[in-house]
Chains A and B, each alone.
Chain A
């Protein structure tokens, strides 16, 4: 009997829509989260495969929370629907056993509730095969992970949740109470989770989590990337116990339910109607007016909107979807608000908007998909259509009422998001409210997209012969519209429904550069949506004649006129846009771009080593017209043949976004490849060795008309930022080659070396720096003009500034010949100016971004202090930090000028005093580049960035040490180490030692570089390290080719290292060395004099890793620290260091005792994280205080 009820229950739900809708939504969420970086579900995926077993199981664990309300919807109905529909007497009068009934219903509903969770597997598996995903980040399908995800999380969690909800629903028979109980469960879980976070007893923590999420995270804490990619956690260890405990708890709740449940009819709600006897009464029917005309239609529209709106809002599925949407979006906003672009930022509005877009809009699309069907089919589904269809009320009123009701629901979501965002911002003490930005993005830019999709979904349902065909049609359309255009190499937005040029908001220029093109495309699609609306109104299914032919025959004449007008207007705008985007501008398909890059390499790579003249001196005359986003750059440069043979042809590469006019003395165009923008000039006579010639060029760009995608973002209304890369490039540039392995393979290109191999004592291969192959040190003079309200900045000292013709002109000159690598900027800047020993230190910033300006100024000066004292003189007469719009988010050092993106340093905010001050750190790093890159620059081969980036990191760390003290350096080392360890698991090719680091391996030259340099400094002393670096500066600063390599650096460091520590140079720079240090016991005994004797048991191991990450253990004979910390004070992250001692250790276990003067909180091995440790977290252990 129980089986019958069970199978009836399951079939009941499978016939309905709800379970499938939920399944699709979960599937879509996970599909989005794994196939795109824009969509997040429960945090971002890190270095593992995007479909790693760990990731899948994690989804199953986390989704238990999100599907809680879905489960509630099924289980509540299973337990209470008989009472709600008044069918209880019908059912309960049959000879049913209570247990059978309850068991069947409970298990049936629970089984159905598991189905939506399977969307996780569908989503992950499907995402793997999408053409746009990066195949390198996907592993094989591990079925065990799916099975274990279901068996370890989905099934037990659903059984547990179902038991509780079933109990509440069966005993109270109230839907509201059931949903409240599940919300309470959720809130209680969240609160308990936070409260038990600090539980030191991990075992308790693992057992107490009813969903096993904590259990999973603790048990997999030490899994390496490889393990996460390979292994799935089953019913084992603590997980087994956890699952058994909570399944038993669920069973207990169910037994309680059976005990308390009674078939008797307590709830009076569903009572049958009393039998009537009286006849009808004589009632006077009041006379009423039957209104017609616009006024009446308007009233009907208003009332119908409210009717449809409430009809939609009051459904269970809506409440569940809304709750799920808010559950995903609100915590995302709360937790990610301050995490914008790295750690610790002001919760700026544009970042909050990005969180909203990433976490909510999937639900919005789901709601549009689902409710468009519900609304269009509402009368027919309820079989109210015949009654309503015979009312004298035009179809278009009903159509618009439904459309507006749906959009009304969505706008409420947007309002909720705006309120949440604002409240969160306020709670975090950020009061720069940008209501205009919220309103424009949420209610205009994004909302118009919702309108387009809703109108389309309605249209498809209006045409479709049944609801399911309509759903299928719309979803198929969505997928096709999103996925087919790129593979078809179609880039025009004219065919991609609802597509408009993307935009990036910036506090500098708002949305200004994008709006012209954006509005035109919006108008295009809006008119199309109007056409669809007219068609939908006219073809609205009314009555029983559903054939489209019949419906077309009944096309309302007024609507016919409107439809024709919209169609014509659509075609007209389309024609205008076609002319603008394809004739006045050009659109290149995504595949074509790749093909062109491949052809570029195939055709011209052979010229890579062709001797070319080199630039030595440049004069610029630049005109920037911000309001028109136009630029003209005239260059007049000297080129010199520095080779020993004459040069007969010159190769020049240009950028298709700009127009060029190039004149080279004695040169004639021999070949002009306009497709690949590659020109070959014949030099007549050839350039003799040592000969100097003049090359002049004009580079210009001005956007015309509507663009398919708004380009040229380096010149904007406010916040222009470009570098000299737009000038014609001399010689073949390897940077233009395809880098993606798949793209290369598809086009028959061989594997690409990321960088030439490192050579010792090289000459021929060291003639170029890694920044340029066409120049060495150049002198630069610039005249630059911009609009009257902006400041334009070029490299060097400002010689003169004047206003002429309503424009501001500036004349700059570099004080010292530098790398041919610098930037030009123009914006309405505020400027903070100070002086440091005759050097002008300046910060140019957007007026509203004052927060970190003083800190930047201080960091510039502290870095100047340190670097001039330790490395050598500063070469420029100014040091400028210049803010630029968030079209990019980086900071970059050019000679004397350091552009810094608005989205990172300028909005950074330290939460706690112990947090890493990234602004201070980054500015110091960029300043250090004025020595490491702009004075000493590596030859273009492996290891080059060790000379620039690693040394800039080291210098920045030393500036930090001066500021915060040696004991606090662990926060920086912890940060860098953590990022290094995580990133090395993501390495796709080969992890290199520092010596041969490649330019793309940021995690080595930044993160590992910091760690190894700091450890070396600890071991041989700051003076020794800086002595070596000073020697490098003396030898190579501003020196001509051949350029130095990492060998020069490592050799210099080795020379300063005492003989007995020389192994360090090998460990740190020449090989990949990792430690496995951990503390197994930490205890302390209180001594009589208030001191404590600490005993620690530690273990140490050492490994060498090869380039693929395979590790070999080697014996330890290294200097490792031990130490202890006091408890951190309030609001502090790090306690005072109580003890610190360096000990030469051997492999294996050891016990150490030492005495400290205060109560220790934590103690252990390598407490300051000086060594690269596979698992740094277990270095310290909490000290147990005994007698």
Chain B
């Protein structure tokens, strides 16, 4: 089973073109959707999650028309929104129970066992009676994944799940995700390159509503091999380098900018050739190179 997205477009009423003719095919397993903030990732995910309409194009999972047969999608869907709040005064267990009910677990005993197992799975059982409002960010995200996993979803959409999590929490979160992500389609949107690298066998890079790359992360890196150079420069030199070279990124290392430069031809010795990272791929793609 596969999620096929074809020529999907979406323009908001304020004229922003969120998706422009996006075509993707997403197989089972973890699929990374990489893009900057505002690239259109969330719009795409919301469309698949039946929360938004597309202007044109189609999306299907197996036989199901995602854009029309929303109920069928919802029965197979687990969705962790990028940002969610909580009801005041409601505990995790009550909230999860509520969501399980909405998903169709109407047998009270079953629901109770399911909810408790889920909370156990995400390591929140101990805190199940506490108000969600008092949860830390990581706990809240784990609650989010617990609710997304209710209903054995065949399609799991997690939108920027690690934003704001500390490294430990992030790891725990990914372990959880990796465990469930083997037999179902998991779409993970993120702007953090490492996330994709660590988790995903396939990925797409989206920028300004367009797909710039679709394929394996490794293949993308390999394709860039030998064309990335790095150099430490003085701060004041940066504008000059930016005009002379195709600078794809710069970051401060020990107080001085370290720039990565894309070049088809070898550069002089001041530049050190580097093994490209996925990040380089990302920036190169965004920069319209490669």
Contacts and interface: CB of A to CB of B under 8 A. Distances in A.
Given A296-B104, A300-B101, A382-B87, 14 more contacts: A280-B122, A288-B114, A290-B151, A295-B106, A311-B87, A378-B87, A382-B85, A387-B81, A387-B144, A388-B99, A388-B102, A392-B102, A394-B71, A543-B50
Nearest to B180: A285
Interface in B23-40: none
B240 interface: no
18 contacts: A273-B134, A278-B123, A280-B175, A283-B120, A300-B104, A307-B98, A382-B86, A386-B84, A387-B79, A387-B84, A387-B99, A388-B99, A389-B50, A390-B79, A391-B99, A394-B71, A544-B46, A547-B13
B110 A279 contact: no
Interface in B93-145: 98-99, 101-107, 110-111, 113-114, 117-118, 120-123, 127, 130, 133-136, 139, 144
Contact of B107 (A285, A291, A314, A542): A291
Contacts of B144: 387
Interface in A383-441: 383-384, 386-394
A472 to B, nearest CB: 23
A391 B84 contact: no
Contacts, number: 141
A384 B135 contact: no
B75 interface: yes
Contact of B51 (A276, A292, A393, A544): A544
Contact of A392 (B71, B80, B81, B118): B71
B214 interface: no
A289 B107 contact: yes
B172 interface: yes
Contacts of B134: 86, 270, 273
Interface of B: 13, 46, 49-53, 71, 74-75, 77, 79-81, 83-90, 98-99, 101-107, 110-111, 113-114, 117-118, 120-123, 127, 130, 133-136, 139, 144, 147, 149, 151-152, 168, 172, 175-176
Interface string A294-312: 0110011001100100010
Nearest to B80: A387
Nearest to B130: A273
A281 interface: yes
A824 B152 CA distance: 79
A802 interface: no
B105 A289 contact: yes
Contact of B110 (A277, A280, A289): A289
A386 B104 contact: no
Contacts of B85: 382-384
Q: 5 smallest A-B Cβ distances: which pairs?
A: A383-B85, A391-B102, A543-B51, A392-B74, A386-B81
A545 B152 CA distance: 27
Given A273-B127, A273-B136, A280-B121, A290 B101 contact: no
B171 to A, nearest CB: 8
A1116 to B, nearest CB: 72
B121 A314 contact: no
A233 B102 CA distance: 60
A269 B39 CA distance: 41
A378 B121 CA distance: 29
Nearest to A543: B51
Contacts of B147: 387
A164 to B, nearest CB: 26
Given A286-B113, A382-B87, A392 B103 contact: yes
A390 B101 contact: no
Contacts of A272: 136
A289 B114 CA distance: 10
Interface SS of chain A: helix, strand, loop or mixed?
loop
A295 B106 CA distance: 9
Nearest to A284: B117
A790 B106 CA distance: 59
B120 A390 contact: no
Contacts of B130: 273
Contacts of A311: 87, 90
B237 to A, nearest CB: 42
A389 B51 contact: yes
A387 B157 CA distance: 11
A393 B102 contact: yes
A676 B51 CA distance: 65
A550 B114 contact: no
A259 interface: no
A596 B29 CA distance: 83
A85 interface: yes
Given A311-B87, A383-B83, A288 B107 contact: yes
B129 to A, nearest CB: 12
A544 B79 CA distance: 15
B153 to A, nearest CB: 10
A783 B49 CA distance: 82
A303 B105 CA distance: 11
Contact of A280 (B52, B71, B176): B176
B46 A288 contact: no
A300 B102 contact: yes
Contacts of A290: 75, 103-105, 151
B106 A300 contact: yes
Given A273-B134, A280-B175, A280-B176, A543 B84 contact: no
A539 to B, nearest CB: 15
Contact of B75 (A283, A307, A392): A392
A542 B83 CA distance: 17
A768 B51 CA distance: 83
A542 B111 CA distance: 25
Contacts of A283: 117, 120-121
Nearest to B113: A286
A390 B77 contact: yes
Contacts of B121: 280-281, 283, 285
Contact of B117 (A85, A286, A389): A286
A304 B101 CA distance: 8
Contacts of B90: 311
A383 B133 CA distance: 12
B118 to A, nearest CB: 7
A392 B104 contact: yes
Q: Which one of A278, A390, A544 has the greatest number of beta carbons of chain B within 10 Å?
A: A390
A273 B135 contact: yes
A350 B215 CA distance: 78
Interface in A911-952: none
Interface in A359-388: 378, 382-384, 386-388
A627 B14 CA distance: 68
Contacts of B84: 383-384, 386-387
Contacts of A270: 134
Contact of A314 (B52, B79, B89, B120): B89
A273 B138 CA distance: 11
B79 A386 contact: yes
A656 B111 CA distance: 68
Nearest to A291: B106
Contacts of B74: 390-392
A272 B138 CA distance: 13
A544 B46 CA distance: 8
Nearest to B157: A390
Contacts of B151: 290
B125 to A, nearest CB: 9
A384 B106 contact: no
Contacts of B104: 290-292, 296, 300, 391-393
Nearest to B77: A390
A304 B99 CA distance: 10
Contact of A279 (B46, B106, B133, B175): B175
A284 B113 CA distance: 11
A296 B106 contact: yes
A971 to B, nearest CB: 58
A272 B127 CA distance: 12
Interface in A248-270: 270
B149 to A, nearest CB: 8
B81 A299 contact: no
